Amino acid sequence: MRALDHYGIQVHGLHAVILGRSHLVGQPLALLLGARGATVTLLHSQSQDHKSLCEKADLLVSAVGKARFVQSDWIKPGAVVVNVGTTFTGESIVPDIPPISELGHAFLVVRTLGPTSVALCLRNVAQAAASRPALLGATASTPLLSNDATMEQLTSVPGWSLALQEGRPFLTKDFWFPAYSVACQAVQEVCQKAELMTLGFRV
């Protein structure tokens, strides 16, 4: 929703088609779009004739996780296309939607929401940290750690480090995997556990 707001897309009155009904993306997004006045069609693996339904969409969101699932001729001229699903194919990450070169007839194409998701996760962490009670002894007047003291604290925790990017400090955590395929498997397992946690919270 923030991506649509960023590009100034008014969803009220639009016909939105969402591919994928997961608890993490499809279903929550359908509720959010409906609350803003969009007419929402939620498609899944058992739906019939995805092509004809997608052709009617003013806003098409694909969260399938199947490489190139959406075809360019499924998208009507002037539609807004948002890709959420991605697939590891060899050494590449491939979106659900076709290449940009095949989507010139669309009004707007958002190929990835990864950076936005990371930014929102960090914002939520910061908000949660700000809303919790202060630790014993820490007050608004507690002096900040110096750079040297900060680095000393960080280097004492295995895997974490402080780096600079365009002059701004940020925390990094290193993960090591013996092969790319193992790294992909680890990411998939994390996603599966996150999905199970989401299902558990809904019970």
Confidence of residue 197 (pLDDT cuts 50, 70, 90): low
In this structure, the chain runs to a length of: 203
If one counts the domains in the chain, the total is: 2
Q: Are residues 151 and 200 in the same domain?
A: yes
Does residue 136 lie in a domain region?
no
Q: Distance (Å, rounded) from C-alpha 94 to C-alpha 46? A: 23
Q: Are residues 162 and 111 in the same domain?
A: no
Q: Are residues 178 and 102 in the same domain?
A: no
Residues 71-108 have pLDDT tens digits of 999 999 999 999 998 888 887 889 999 998 999 999 99
Mean pLDDT of 117-122: 84
Confidence of residue 138 (pLDDT cuts 50, 70, 90): low
Give first-to-last CA distance, the chain, whole Å.
Answer: 25
Question: Ramachandran region of residue 149, left (φ > 0), alpha (ψ -120 to 50) or beta?
Answer: alpha
- Residue 73 is classified by DSSP as G
Confidence of residue 10 (pLDDT cuts 50, 70, 90): very high
Does residue 134 lie in a domain region?
no
| CB-CB contact of 16 with 61 (8 Å) | yes
Q: Are residues 102 and 10 in the same domain?
A: yes
| Strand 39-43 to 15-19 pairing | parallel
Q: Are residues 13 and 86 in the same domain?
A: yes
Q: Are residues 111 and 165 in the same domain?
A: no
- What share of the chain has pLDDT > 90, as a percent? 39
| CB-CB contact of 38 with 29 (8 Å) | no
Q: Are residues 194 and 151 in the same domain?
A: yes
Give the amino acid at 201: F
Q: Are residues 18 and 81 in the same domain?
A: yes
Q: Are residues 71 and 161 in the same domain?
A: no
Helices (H), the chain: 2-6, 26-35, 50-54, 114-131, 147-155, 180-202
Does residue 140 lie in a domain region?
no
Task: State the chain's maximal CA–CA distance in angstroms.
Answer: 63
Q: Are residues 111 and 24 in the same domain?
A: yes
For residue 187, what are its two tokens?
């990411």
Q: Are residues 53 and 95 in the same domain?
A: yes
CB under 8 Å to 101, separation ≥6 — which residues?
A: none
Does residue 120 lie in a domain region?
no
CATH code, domain with 38? 3.40.50.720
| CB-CB contact of 174 with 161 (8 Å) | yes
Confidence of residue 131 (pLDDT cuts 50, 70, 90): confident
Q: Are residues 24 and 75 in the same domain?
A: yes
Q: Which residue range is the domain that position 16 belongs to?
A: 2-115
Predicted pLDDT at 181: 87
